[in-house]
Amino acid sequence: MGTYIAGRLAQMIPTLLLIITIVFLLVYIVGDPVSLMLGEHATPEQVATMREAMGLNDPLLVQYFNYLGSVLTGDFGDSYRYNQAALPLVLDRIPATLTLAIGAILLALVIAIPLGVWAATRRGGVVDSAVSSLSVLAKAMPNFWLGIMLILLFAVVLQWLPVSGSGSWAHLVLPVVALGTGTAAEITRLVRSSMVEILSQDYIRTARGKGLRQRVVVYKHALLNAFVPVTSITILQFSTLLGGALITEVVFSWPGLGQLLVNAVSMRDMAVVQAAVFVIAVMVLALSLISDLLFKAVDRRISLG
Amino acid sequence: MRNRSATLGAGLLALSLSACGGVPGTTSDNGSENGGEEESRTLVFAQSADPTTMDPQDARSTSAERVNRNIYSRLFRRDAEMELVEDLVIDYEQVDEQTWRFTITDEAVFHNGDPLTAADVEFSINRVITDDTLLEYVEFNQITSVEAIGDYEIELTTDGPMPTLINVLSKGGADIMPSEYIEENGIEGFIASPIGSGPYEFVEWRQDDRVVLTANEDYWGGEPQWDEVELRAIPENSTRVSELLTGGVDIAADVPPNDWDRIDDEDGSHMVFGDTTRVMLLIVRMTDGYITADPEIREAIDLAIDQGTITETLFEGNATPVRSRVPVGSFGANEELYDDFLYDPERAAELVAAADETPEVTLTASRGNYPFDGEVAEMIASYLEEVGFEVNLDIREGGSYSDMYSERNNEELFLIGLADGMLDASSPMVHYTPETAEGMTDYFSEEVIDLLNQAGRTLDEEERAQLYAEAQEIVAEDRPHIPLYVQPGAFGVSDGVDFTPRLDDNLYFDDILPND
């Protein structure tokens, strides 16, 4: 197990290097932030001086290796907007984003597992059709649109919950629902299809033939086996949620990594963009590793390596 | 396994909540709830952007200024009518063309109890005139020295006659910071926990969320209006408006036009409009080889555009057509060019018809940088086509648009909004000097240069204003810019507060009154 984990960690290095390189090149292509930094009254001389000072007039390769050297020491540069080191700025926002993502995953599981099982045990019936239709609808709704609709209904019309911001459990409800709905739909469909497949297998018929109660057959024998694909998709969905959180955080004014990154992109605060993408990449790779380790924990038949 | 996952998830969630400062059950962000109680009055103001720093000398953004105006005192300030009035200063004199002496009040104290003295003024002004990395430096670099010549007396020298000195000393870069506190805690410590001598004290800044201020009970200028003030950053327009409609905030800034009626129709809220210093205009390329080098073509463009319809239809009459880039309210503005436009499509068509061939122009604009900028560009394109122009409409995304402007790659027409942060014609008129015009408009007028040079040297305010007004008339005829309208400031306001927007877009919380 230790060797396997060490191997996977080693594999992350070239992947991260590739990501750093791609982000650097994208930033290079998009252009520099000098015009936005200096504002509308900047003279060409001021723009040129600032570009020189920031090393933006150096050849591409020189800029790349300078950047790479800094990144290897954990220095992504300073945010020109905040006048602070970019990496700590990004790391400070992770707890808020994780709060949303974990909340959304928990909500998705709480909704998806019972609904998926319910639909699978009533295959072809009204419940199954209703669950399938709702899943498609929930999956099709864009996060930001759902977020705005939730605000209008629950905050503006009914006034049950705050519109935006952070600081209390009440503030967490709407963004978690907006972010978790699509994931709930995805996991519901997966739980249903896994359960349908498992419930038709011989050992389930044997269990029923032995006179075991339906609840024991479904929840003990079938659902436990359905957890392998469910675990996989849940972990993968967590990565997707980090992406979804970008827009959700802006809609709900949630002070997380997403809002920081969206603002950084629009203001070309490239040090923050690069640090944020790097941190998200590390998180996704770590989640992938955790997913594999959880597979092994859930199903002993799976071998690692 | 399910139990284990749930426990792990709940644990992580709790950990994350505590890490992001969440305090379950608090509703302190609800302005109306608190605002309604007489014992504790809280004002909540929502803006579209968060301040980027708490360093008053390194923050040239409206979102930061709105905070700093209330934390700090300064030598002078602008009142609600944009008149320059004394703040800390109780007396001042101009010793000679380059030397000024100021006496400040001995009653001002910082929030930590330290008295505000001339040493703090010297420290603060000296920092902004010597550190060229500070964003406010460019406004102050004409000041050559500052010296405390007594406990409450300061002497300033400039590198020549500086008619804008008092104006400059009212800006954020002249916010007076506590020298002893900074010496003890370093500038980083100060920025993390800033201290001023204004009516409100800094409590906390949750980045991308809110800045919280509390009343300075010992404010030397009188009792503050509010017990607590929150400035929330809510970038999404619909969320900001929803917060206003639900009473979550008392004032929402930067309300987009499509929400104006919604706010007015709702009980408990209304829209308030005011002019800003931002004038939307067309930058016209007068470089040889461009068709717009021809003055008759520039005149045809100006006459073809119906600014009245643009301001009435898109902005519901809340924007004002103008013919000068200097907004009324700024020193030296030519009021005859305010609320005026020259729409005459017949004459424009005649001028176009007189051209050798169909004039072709490229009109560059952004969509979303300014309210309705894309729509305005489309309307202008159709007006121009109606009188015979062939128009290439080039709508760009924000970054590419900014690059085109800063690199001076603009074609015949470039739609932009230009503000006047100085509230003095000297700043916007700099666009008509050869150094600034080069490569953008390539405008050159010896008459205008002469007038601007005279205005830059004279300390007689009446004469200076007259010189700027004359220069604006010439520019309006030459048309290196074709001004369109003043962009309105649009605020959604709760009926619970009485709020009047300022021309400079700043906020003094004590000017906002509760409607009891």
Dist CA B166 CA B297 (whole Å): 42
B207:A268 CB<8 A? no
Residues A6-10 have a mean pLDDT of: 83
Tell me the shortest Cα–Cα distance from B357 to chain A, in angstroms. 34
Cα distance between the two ends of chain A:
8
Dist CA B321 CA B308 (whole Å): 7
**ipTM of the assembly?**
0.78
Question: How many CB pairs (< 8 A) connect A and B?
Answer: 157
Q: Which residues of B touch A155 (CB under 8 A)?
A: 242, 246
Asked whether residue A72 carries a pLDDT value surpassing 80, the answer given is yes
Dist CA A290 CA A292 (whole Å): 5
For residue A47, tell me if it sits in a domain. no
Q: Which residues of A touch B22 (CB under 8 A)?
A: 99, 166-169, 171-172
Q: Where are the domains of chain B?
A: 4-48+199-274+489-514, 76-181, 279-486
A167:B21 CB<8 A? yes
The whole domain housing A159 covers: 88-298
Interface test with chain A among B239, B245, B281, B494, by most A beta carbons within 10 Å: B239
Judged by a CB distance cut-off of 8 A, whether residue A34 touches chain B is yes
Q: Which residues of B touch A168 (CB under 8 A)?
A: 22-27
Element (H, E) at B347: helix B345-353
| Phi (first) and psi of residue B202, to 5 degrees | -70, 130
Q: Which residues of A touch B407 (CB under 8 A)?
A: 35, 47
Chain A residues 41-70 with a CB less than 8 Å from chain B: 41-44, 47
> What pLDDT does residue A86 have?
92
β-pairing verdict for B200-206 and A78-79: unpaired
Tally of domains within chain A: 1
Residues A1-27 have a mean pLDDT of: 84
Q: What is the CATH number of the domain that holds A255?
A: 1.10.3720.10
Judged by a CB distance cut-off of 8 A, whether residue A164 touches chain B is yes
For residue B451, CA distances in Å to B130, B302, B397, B426, B433 come to 31, 24, 38, 11, 11
Interface test with chain A among B16, B249, B401, B403, by most A beta carbons within 10 Å: B16
> What pLDDT does residue B32 have?
43
Cα distance between the two ends of chain B:
58
- Interval A289-304: pLDDT, tens: 887 787 777 666 666 5
For residue A171, tell me if it sits in a domain. yes
Chain A residues 91-130 with a CB less than 8 Å from chain B: 92-93, 95-96, 98-99, 102-103, 105-106, 109, 113
> What pLDDT does residue B215 have?
96
Describe the crossing of helices A270-298 and A86-121 by its angle, rounded to 10 degrees. Answer: 40
Report residue A67's pLDDT band, with 50, 70 and 90 as the boundaries: confident
CATH superfamily of B4-48+199-274+489-514: Periplasmic binding protein-like II (3.40.190.10)
Judged by a CB distance cut-off of 8 A, whether residue A40 touches chain B is yes
> What is the 3-state secondary structure of chain A?
CHHHHHHHHHHHHHHHHHHHHHHHHHHHHHCCCHHHHHCCCCCHHHHHHHHHHCCCCCCHHHHHHHHHHHHHCCCCCEECCCCEEHHHHHHHHHHHHHHHHHHHHHHHHHHHHHHHHHHHHCCCCHHHHHHHHHHHHHHHCCHHHHHHHHHHHHHHHCCCCCCCCCCCHHHHHHHHHHHHHHHHHHHHHHHHHHHHHHHCCHHHHHHHHCCCCHHHHHHHHHHHHHHHHHHHHHHHHHHHHHHHHHHHHHHCCCCCHHHHHHHHHHCCCHHHHHHHHHHHHHHHHHHHHHHHHHHHHHCCCCCCC
Element (H, E) at B85: strand B84-86
Give the SS3 label for residue B316: coil
Q: Which residue has the higher pLDDT, A38 or B291?
A: B291
Determine the topology of domain B279-486 in CATH. Answer: Dipeptide-binding Protein; domain 3 (3.10.105)
Interface test with chain B among A56, A99, A107, A154, by most B beta carbons within 10 Å: A99
B232:A253 CB<8 A? yes
> What pLDDT does residue B31 have?
43
Element (H, E) at B414: strand B413-418
- Interval A111-170: pLDDT, tens: 998 898 888 888 888 888 888 889 889 888 888 899 999 999 999 999 999 999 888 899
> What pLDDT does residue A39 have?
65
Tell me the shortest Cα–Cα distance from B220 to chain A, in angstroms. 31
Dist CA B108 CA B114 (whole Å): 9
Show pLDDT as tens, one digit a residue, over chain B (516 residues): 334 444 434 444 443 443 333 332 233 344 444 444 456 799 999 999 888 889 999 887 888 999 999 999 999 999 998 999 999 999 999 999 899 999 999 999 999 999 999 999 999 999 999 998 888 888 898 999 999 999 999 999 999 889 899 999 999 999 999 999 999 999 989 999 999 999 999 999 998 899 999 999 999 989 999 999 999 999 899 999 999 999 999 999 999 888 999 999 999 999 999 989 999 999 999 999 999 999 999 999 999 999 999 999 999 999 999 999 999 989 999 999 999 999 999 999 999 999 988 999 999 999 888 889 999 999 999 999 999 999 999 999 877 888 888 888 899 999 999 988 889 999 999 999 998 899 999 999 999 999 999 998 888 989 999 999 999 999 999 999 999 999 999 999 999 999 999 999 899 999 999 987
Dist CA B133 CA A217 (whole Å): 71
Describe the crossing of helices A257-266 and A86-121 by its angle, rounded to 10 degrees. Answer: 120
> What pLDDT does residue B214 have?
97
For residue A118, tell me if it sits in a domain. yes
Residue of B nearest to A48 (CA): B407
For residue A166, tell me if it sits in a domain. yes
For residue B509, CA distances in Å to B39, B249, B499, B504 come to 18, 14, 9, 14
Q: B76-181 maps to which CATH number?
A: 3.90.76.10
Q: Which residue has the higher pLDDT, A259 or A39?
A: A259
Judged by a CB distance cut-off of 8 A, whether residue A263 touches chain B is yes
| Predicted TM-score of the model (pTM) | 0.82
> What pLDDT does residue B5 have?
41
Name residue, tokens 């509308």: A40
